[in-house]
Amino acid sequence: MSQVDDGLHLLQVKSLVFELSRRLNSKQMGFSAQLQTKAAHEALLSRQDAELRLLETMRRCISNKVKCDKDYATALSSISALGQKNDRAEEMSNSLVGRAWRGMMEEVEAAAKLFRSKAEIIEKETLDKVNTLCQEKRKARKIYLEEYNRITQKFTNICDEVNRKKSDYQKQLESYRFMRSRFEEYYVKSGRGGRKLEDVQDKYQRACRRLHLIHNEYVLLLSEAEQVQKDVKSHLLPALFSHYQTNLQSFIVNWRSIMKEISLHWNCASKQFVDVWNRSEAHVETIVPANEYVDLQQKQMANGTDYADFTFDNSLVEDTSGKLQANTLTVDNLTVEWVRNKMLEVEPKLKDCQERLSNKNPDLQDMNEVAIAELRCEEKKLTRQLEVIKKALTELGCEEAPPGCDIPLNPLLDGSQEISVDSNPEIGRKLSHPSPPPPPTQPSFVDILRKPFRRKSVPSSPLGTRHNQGTSRSLVDEDWFHGVLPREEVVRLLTREGDFLVRETTRNDENQTVLSVCWGGHKHFIVQTTAEGQFRFEGPAFNTIQELITYQIQSQLPVTGRSGAILRTPIPRERWELNNDDVVLGDKIGRGNFGDVFKGRLLATNEEVAIKTCRVTVAEEHKRKFLQEGRILKQYDHPNIVKLIGICVQKQPIMIVMELVVGGSLLTHLRTNASSVTTTQLINMCRDAAAGMRYLESKNCIHRDLAARNCLVGDKNIVKISDFGMSREEEEYIVSDGMKQIPIKWTAPEALNFGKYTTLCDVWSYGVLCWEIFAKGGVPYPGMSNSKAREKIDAGYRMPAPDGTPEDMYRLMLRCWEYQPELRPHFDQILNIVENILGTMR
């Protein structure tokens, strides 16, 4: 070729190299985004195997081509020698034909030398490059596979550890449940005392301790596993893939250069070879290293990234009465030392990791990107663990301790041991634990209901008997003592800075007295008991709680230096807060969601009442829901709404005292008197329910559970609406805590589908209540499951009228069951309609 052609060709090569570099630097596509699945990893390995086989094929072909070119050059030399051999040379020395022939033979020899030279260059240089490329690709594949297996093995190990830990958790949970049932059996059912109860109790405590410890280990392990997975998926594998992709693309650059070199050496001047070279060159030019693996990535893109699920299994803590929380470390007397030791273990590891990642570390520059990514992932994992631990320890503080396990905060110790009586880690005061008192007398079942459970092996606090040492005045007699009123109710009462009250709480089956103060928010302080039986916060100790509170008010000193809270205004009990001892429990007449319902009597008036009790062992959240009914009822006064008399929160169990409605449940009444009840009586029942619901609607109260089972029948068959446990005092309520315990067949479609409750949802339920009344206690949507009934309602199905239902009443039911809420009547309209129907019956 001419010099001009050579120059143009050189410019083309430089342009291609520049374009290749630009595309590599732009990183248009990346392995880290599409190749994280197992299938993609195997596809990548398979692709590399195919490339190695292609390199082997190229090497064999090039070797054969070199041999052929050498043989061809030898043949041309023989032809040239043969052509120049002439026995009659002298005679042909001046012959033009002979001269031309000799020139042609010389060109043949020159062509032979050119073929031989090109073959030797390819053999010595190009073929060596192919062999080197093949070796380097094998080495890179091996390194990648080792690194990939090492990274994924870390993830596999943590997954296996999570599964083992969860299995251990489940086994320990079973052991805990078994020991708890044995303990309850010995203590509650049989009521036996003595050494056997103490042995069972001791085993129960040890099972509880092991459960909490394995819970904490499981929580931290999940946190670690989640971080490891995130690091593997977001950092380690992407770093490995990015590094490997860079290597592979550099191989493609070398590969392309080799093929370019071969194409140039195999080029010939004839038109046939030029055509072959052009076609070969065109094929070579189609190689763009940055796009080499696009098809592989696109095929695997649809598979997504396979993440493992490291969410906490809530079933593990369902039976712990809320004392163990998902994804939350339990910090109490059983675990606080373990948590603190864990923090001391994690902190130096995190500091070392941060120092290794510091720019001041001279070894940092020598690390490859995979090693740096591993260090950063380790730093994030340790940082996250430390945040979880510090958050749990910070919440402990000097205030009321978080829920713990099923034994007291101050467990019985040997006389030579000392324990901290202040939950504030800054206060290092330690006092010896007093010796236990003699065992109590055997309690009755009703006594257990009326007073909180006491551990026999641990001395009861003087507050447990409601009396303080050194005074005959009971703590219950103080207006600012609110008994076991839940924290949420306390927060509602304390509105101004310095407002305070005293209450009791049960932690781990042991009573604790708590001072609640409004001061920069709401703060709660446990009253500490000294070894001498006195009471204190951070200051001096006093013989009685009353003296301690009086000192805090008169001195105007902060309860604790950390909180700065000062007592100003005592908040007295509300008028509807009754004393538990003023109520006498009688026969059991029913069972509620949170405890049993008893018939009882008020000592002051000798009035018979109905008493709802809340089991001592239920979670604090359920106690709040239990008291919600009392909080709603205390402000209502209507003949068709069951009346609240008061709430007993001075001690456990919490009780709601209501008027005793002698007829019992409307559902039971209808079924019992199905043969004798008249149509007029049934309409009157519908009228009473409508009147009660109109009153609730005027108060912006959404009942959410209106049904015959939740209505009561009083004197002269008057119907009263009851059971406000699911009620809400607002115009619209959106359910955000799931749809558990929802009465499907009584609930409006918009509430089931979207969780949106209004008083028009109660209108739908009222239509179902009317159907129940005229069906005389029948089950709505007979023969249908909940899901089937819901499906048919959405499709337009409505229940037919029960036998004997007046046509006007059925039309009212259908209006209540309009699918669109705005088409349903309000309760003032419903009451007018029912009263008009009654008027036509007279």
Q: What is the pLDDT of residues 379-407, one digit of tens each?
A: 888 998 888 888 777 655 434 433 332 32
Buried b (16+ CB within 10 A) or exposed e, 139-151: ebbeebeebbeeb
What is the model's pLDDT at position 517? 96
> Does the global pTM surpass 0.85?
no
- Number of Cβ within 10 Å of residue 507's Cβ equals 21
For every residue of 263-299, DSSP letters joined together read HHHT--SSHHHHHHHHHHHHHHHT--GGGTTHHHHHH
Which one, of 224, 101, 96, lies nearest residue 157 by Cα? 224
The DSSP string of 531-557 is TTS-EESSS--BSSHHHHHHHHHHH--
DSSP per-residue letters across 492-511: HH--STTEEEEEEEEETTEE
Write out pLDDT tens, residues 52-106: 899 899 889 989 989 998 998 899 888 888 888 876 666 666 667 777 787 788 8
Q: Are residues 98 and 135 in the same domain?
A: yes
Residue 110 lies in a domain: yes
Domain-ending residue, one of 570, 594, 613? 570
What pLDDT digit, counting tens, does each position of 409-462 carry? Answer: 333 223 222 222 333 333 333 222 333 333 333 333 233 233 333 323 333 333
670 and 652 belong to one structural domain:
no
Strands 569-570 and 499-507: parallel
Report yes or no on 201 lying in a domain. Answer: yes
Rg (CA), the chain: 44
Portion of the chain with pLDDT greater than 90, in percent: 29
Residues 584 and 563 in one domain: no
Task: Quickly state the pLDDT bin for 323 (edges 50, 70, 90).
Answer: low
Please check whether residue 654 lies inside any domain of the structure: yes
- Could you tell me which residues come within 8 angstroms of residue 54 by beta carbon, excluding any fewer than 6 positions away? none
Q: Does 560 share its domain with 584?
A: no
- CATH number, position 628: 3.30.200.20
Catalytic site positions: 705
Q: Does 556 lie in the same domain as 450?
A: yes
Task: Indicate if 182 and 243 belong to the same structural domain.
Answer: yes
Q: Which domain holds residue 641?
A: 577-659
Q: Is residue 409 part of a domain?
A: no
First to last CA, the chain: 121
Average pLDDT over residues 493-518: 86
How buried is residue 742: exposed, middle or buried, by Cβ count under 10 Å (0-12/13-18/19+)? Answer: middle
Q: Are residues 677 and 826 in the same domain?
A: yes
Residue 34 has pLDDT above 70, yes or no: no
Q: Is the pLDDT of residue 778 over 90?
A: yes
Q: What pLDDT, on a 0 to 100 scale, did the predictor assign at position 8?
A: 42
State the pLDDT at residue 189: 61
Report if residue 602 sits inside a domain. yes
Q: Which has the closest alpha carbon to 764: 816, 726, 800?
A: 816
Mean pLDDT within 263-291: 65
Q: pLDDT category, 548, cuts 50, 70, 90? A: very high
Per-residue pLDDT tens over the stretch 779-790: 999 999 999 999
Residues 648 and 785 in one domain: no
Q: How sure is the predictor about 27, in pLDDT bands with cuts at 50, 70 and 90? A: very low
410 within some domain:
no
CB 173 within 8 A of CB 315: no
Q: What is the CATH number of the domain that holds 505?
A: 3.30.505.10
Which of 608, 624, 659 represents a domain boundary (last residue)? Answer: 659
Q: Is 612 annotated as a binding residue?
A: yes
Same domain, 284 and 203: yes
The total number of structural domains in the chain stands at: 5
Question: 769 and 689 in contact (C-beta within 8 Å)?
Answer: yes
Most confident range (mean pLDDT) of 121-130, 365-374, 678-687 is 678-687
Q: How confident is the model at residue 727 (pLDDT cuts 50, 70, 90)?
A: low
In a domain, 308, yes or no: no
Q: What is the CATH number of the domain that holds 174?
A: 1.20.1270.60
Q: Is residue 379 part of a domain?
A: yes
Are residue 546 and residue 634 in the same domain, yes or no? Answer: no
pLDDT at 732: 54
- If asked whether residues 217 and 288 sit together in one domain, one would say yes
pLDDT tens digits, 227-257: 888 888 888 888 887 888 888 888 888 888 8
Residue type, 554: Q
Indicate whether 180 pLDDT > 60.
Answer: yes
Q: Which of these three, 337, 364, 396, is where a domain ends? A: 396
Instruction: Tell me the average pLDDT of the chain.
Output: 78
Same domain for 614 and 640, yes or no, is yes
Q: SS3 for 799-827, per residue? A: CCCCCCCCHHHHHHHHHHCCCCHHHCCCH
pLDDT at position 803 = 94
Which pLDDT does position 673 carry in this prediction?
A: 93
